Amino acid sequence: MAQTIKIKRSTSTAAPSSLQPGELAYSQSSKKLFIGQPGGGTGDILVIGGQYHTDIIDDLVTTNALAITGDVAGTGSYNSGTGVWTVNVAQQNNSVDLGTHTVGNYVATLIGTAGQIATTGAATGEGIGHTISLIDTSVTAGSYGGTTSIPTFTVDAKGRLTAASEVTIATTLNITGDSGSDGVALLSETLNFEGGTALTTAVTDDNVKIDLDNTAVTAGQYGSATQLAQFTVDAQGRLTQAAEFTADFVITGDTGSDTVVLQETLHFDGGTGVTTAVSNNQVAFSIGQDVATTSNVTFNNVSVNGTLTSDDITSTNISVDGNATITGNLTVNGTTTTVNSETVTLDDPLLTLGGDTAPTTDDDLDRGVEFRWHNGTAAKLGFFGYDDSAQQFTFIPDATNTSNVISGTAGAAKFGSLALDTDLAVAHGGTGRGTFTSKGVIYGNGAGGLLVTAVGAYDSSNSVGQLLSVDSTGTPAWTNALDGGSF
């Protein structure tokens, strides 16, 4: 079977909204043929033919008549030999309506606003002279405001004064103080600011400045961590004298002495094995325990030069400088066991991690071996073992240990061969299946195993094979048609 090429088409939409340059489309609704404009965008669409246009041409050729209507009159003729129409038209008298048949500026009607603007001349028409003027308001023309009065105005929305008058202003400024009062004639007298005791006044650029007079005290900071300040104050609250003096005392001990300055802290420091406590202005010294010959004494970090024999030693830390041999069983109940030796040998064929009894709950902790190494640039922490959250055996060359929960990117592993009980999943780099259809085309299936199409058919009579397309779900399928689709 030969291949079929179908262009884009529609039976209900009059025109496509977008076409690729050179792409064809036909609308049965508008009976027009479209093409995407070469070199244009997807919205540049040209009409290049269709039944709509051929019907018009057929009607013109058949009737050989052309109707002219509207505000023009004329005739039309068709030359069947050349296929050209000739149309002669003329504009009818008084057939142009301003604003309907014209574009641009024109005056249709000129009417003044009552009480605001007056016009003279015809209200409408062409070639008419017009005069436009403001109508008088109720304001009396003249000057408003003076040395003893200020003007007041009323302004309408057009910015015109509709009322004007004057308001008399006061010419006397009344002033009062803590004692006494007076009136200043603003048009003839001057208001004077006089400084009192220890005050000086100055007037500059409409500003009055009142300053305190300087005293004999040198400006600066008085008093510190080692000095106390002393001042003399006058009746106006000013400092007329300032000085400093030192406040300290001397302390001595069995050895040494020191001077304690004001604002320093006197600290009582206990010696070896001695603690101090300060409360209610008293200092108490204590060695922390009874050290009588019959007392049970606790010491930290006891060093023995020789042999130590005891049937009851309780110690936070024990250090053995030499060989230690334990004949019985060794039980370590601490949190960390560190072995800083070059070779560790275990006779046990199995190494048990995660406890010496069966767990009763999931502690969400990983199990395995953690190792340290260096990549030539930086120190690294590696891990291989069982990932509790993933429930998989994993290897992480650059790992992070957060409270025995290992995180990091899985590393590469090298094996001579690998045998799996199941097909290798796609998520792990496999195909997810064991066999494929011969000559089928493989396609993806998300996280599932890869899928394969049927075998495409070949038409030996027309020397053509099927085309690979997709169905409405996007699944690959063989077809004999090259279809432009619909719009």
Q: Which residues are registered as beta bridge partners of 72?
A: 91
- Predicted confidence at residue 206, as pLDDT, reads 80
Report the 10 Å Cβ neighbour count for 45: 19
CA–CA distance, 55 with 61 (Å, rounded to integer): 10
What is the pLDDT tens value at each position of the chain, 487 positions in all?
566 788 889 999 999 999 888 889 999 999 999 999 999 998 999 999 999 988 887 777 666 666 777 777 777 776 766 767 787 877 766 666 655 666 655 555 666 666 666 666 655 555 556 677 777 778 888 888 777 788 888 888 887 888 888 888 877 888 887 788 888 777 778 878 787 777 888 888 888 888 877 887 788 887 776 677 788 888 777 877 878 777 777 888 878 888 777 677 778 887 777 888 888 989 888 877 776 767 777 777 667 666 666 656 677 777 777 777 777 788 888 788 888 888 888 888 988 888 888 999 999 999 999 999 999 999 999 999 999 999 999 999 999 999 999 999 999 988 888 787 788 777 777 777 778 888 888 888 888 888 888 898 888 877 778 888 888 898 999 888 777 766 7
Q: Whole-angstrom Cα distance, residue 49 to residue 59?
A: 16
User: Rounded to the nearest 5°, which phi and psi values hold at 290?
Assistant: -80, 130
Measured distance CA(313)–CA(304) in Å, rounded: 13
d(CA 79, CA 64): 9
Which pLDDT score, from 0 to 100, does residue 112 have? 61
> How would you label 204-215 residue by residue, b for 16+ Cβ within 10 Å and e otherwise?
eeeeeeeeeeeb
3-state secondary structure the chain: CCCEEECEEECCCCCCCCCCCCCEEEECCCCEEEEECCCCCCCCEEEEECHHHHHHHHHHHHHCCCCCCCCEEEEEEEECCCCEEEEEEEECCCCCCCCCCCCCCCCCCCCCCCCCEEEECCCCCCCCCCEEEECCCCCCCCCCCCCCEEEEEEECCCCCEEEEEEEECCCEEEEECCCCEEEEECCCCCCCCCCCCCEEEEEECCEEEEEECCCCCCCCCCCCCCEEEEEEECCCCCEEEEEEEECEEEEECCCCEEEEECCCCCCCCCCCCCEEEEECCEEEEECCCCCCCCCCCCCCCCCCCCCCCCCCCCCCCCCCCCCCCCCCCCCCCCCCCCCCCCCCCCCCCCCCCCCCCCCCCCCCCCEEEEEEEECCCCEEEEEEEEECCCCEEEEECCCEEECCEEECCCCCCCCCCCCCCCCCCHHHCCCCCCCCCCCCCEECECECCCEECCCCCEECCCCEECEEEECCCCCEEEECEEECCEC
Q: What is the C-alpha end-to-end distance of the chain, expressed in Å?
A: 27
